[in-house]
Amino acid sequence: MKKMVNIIGFPRSLPVIKINDTLSISYYDCVEDTEVLSKAAETIAARLKAAACGCVITTETKGVGIATLSAACAALPLIVLRKNATPILPKDAWIEVDGGGSITSGKRGGFYIRSDKAAALASYKNIWLVDDIYSTGETLKTVKAALQTQFDKPLSGAAFILQETAAPRCLDAAEGVPLYFCGRLPFPN
């Protein structure tokens, strides 16, 4: 089964995946959708500039593409919380951040941030999370907690391409963090 949706002006036919007897979702993978990524990056970059964002942060997931493009369009630094420390760099080049892991698999673990990026966090004000799709809010909670507990920094806002929701409109805030969406991805049922 497929569902036609409009994603920031671009029609897409998305597969509908049954999660359980009461929930099905329209699956959208933005990684290779250059039309949507380009338009969303321009839109999100304008929002980041209007909010006086000082730094973009994201996790090492499908959202890296939109975060990278948005940060580049807004001429902002980007920090990626990674799933693994790259073995090419020395061990002391990484700091482990508690509480991350795979949001989709539910496995808990940690993230790694390069030590030079962690040191740079001290100078950044108004840090925004940029990601592809907001569904459960788990990424937002994890990034907010990591910034607060390990870097004594608030998460000032979050921007996403889409909010996956059954609600008639997008959320304005979650976890006390203002949210911005380019659009919404409605549940098919």
Stated pTM of the model:
0.87
In this prediction, residue 189 carries a pLDDT of: 55
Q: Report the pLDDT value the prediction gives residue 176, as an integer from 0 to 100.
A: 92
Angle at 34 between CA 33 and CA 40, to 5 degrees: 95
Burial of 108 (0-12, 13-18, 19+ CB in 10 A): exposed
Name the CATH code of domain 33-183 (choices 3.40.50.10140, 3.40.50.2300, 3.40.50.300, 3.40.50.2020). 3.40.50.2020
**pLDDT of 103 above 50:** no
Amino acid identity for residue 92 in this structure: D
Q: Is the pLDDT of residue 57 over 80?
A: yes
CA 41 to chain centre: 12
Per-chain mean pLDDT for the chain: 85
In this prediction, residue 101 has a pLDDT band, given cuts at 50, 70 and 90, of very low
Instruction: Return d(Cα 173, Cα 147) in angstroms, integer.
Output: 18
> For the segment 23-35, what is each residue's pLDDT rounded down to a tens digit?
777 788 888 999 9
What's the whole-number mean pLDDT along residues 141-160?
91
